[in-house]
Every structure is written in structure tokens, then in C-alpha cells.
């Protein structure tokens, strides 16, 4: 098992909280974490692991910080 700090921003926090430390199986991807948290891929525009952007099929490692941001709107 690995421990990952998951940080959610804006409306992604609703019903989930701002920050939590979760345990996952080795090899878990960002996409799988989003599924576990019931977050649709269309609701996330930026997914950072330790401050680095990339595809959502990246695997997480023990001690990683995953930050999920929704699309920015407004005008």
C-alpha cells in the first residue's frame, strides 16, 4: 500500500473535503483515484503530481501529492 495526499480545489471539494491522505494499492493511477472519489474526467482540467502536470494514466508513488483542479470559468 502507498499513502498519497489528495488535494481538491474549487467545486471538487464539495462533499469530499479540501485535503486528505488516502491509501492505495501500488500501481494506482490518477484516473483510478478520480474514479474512487467519484470525480468525472471532464470535471478535471489539471492533475498535478508533486507540482508536475501530465496524463491521468500516470501511476502514483508513496508520498506523492496529487492536486486536482477543475476547468476555470468566468469572464
Any idea what the CATH number is for the domain that residue 13 is in? Answer: 3.10.20.30
Does residue 32 lie within any of the structural domains?
A: yes
Q: Confirm whether 13 is domain-assigned.
A: yes
53 neighbors 66 (Cβ within 8 angstroms): no
pLDDT score, position 33? 97
Residues pairing with 34 in the sheet? none
Per-residue pLDDT tens digits for 48-69: 999 999 899 999 999 999 999 9
Q: Does the structure show a pLDDT above 70 at 75?
A: no
Establish if 74 belongs to a structural domain: no
- Section 31-54 average pLDDT: 95
Q: Identify any residues that bridge with 3 across adjacent strands, giving them in sequence order.
A: 23
What value, to the nearest 5°, has the Cα angle with vertex 68 and ends 62 and 74?
Answer: 165
For residues 15 and 69, give the distance between their C-alpha atoms in angstroms, rounded to a whole number.
15
Provide the domain count of the chain: 1
- Residue 19 in any domain: the answer is yes
- 2-17 pLDDT, tens digit each: 999 999 999 999 999 8
Q: Which residue has the higher pLDDT, 74 or 24?
A: 24
Domain assignment present for 48: yes
Give residue 54's pLDDT.
Answer: 85
On whether residue 47 sits in a domain, the answer given is: yes
Domain holding 45, by residue range, is 2-69
The answer to whether 62 touches 3, Cβ cutoff 8 Å, is yes
Amino acid at each position: 500500500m502507498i499513502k498519497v495526499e489528495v488535494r481538491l480545489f474549487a467545486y471538487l471539494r464539495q462533499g469530499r473535503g479540501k485535503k486528505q491522505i488516502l491509501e492505495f494499492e501500488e500501481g494506482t493511477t490518477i484516473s483510478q483515484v478520480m474514479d474512487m472519489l467519484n470525480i468525472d474526467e471532464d470535471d478535471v482540467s489539471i492533475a498535478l503530481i508533486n507540482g508536475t502536470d501530465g496524463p491521468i494514466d500516470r501511476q502514483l508513488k508513496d508520498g506523492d501529492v496529487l492536486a486536482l483542479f477543475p476547468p476555470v470559468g468566468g469572464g
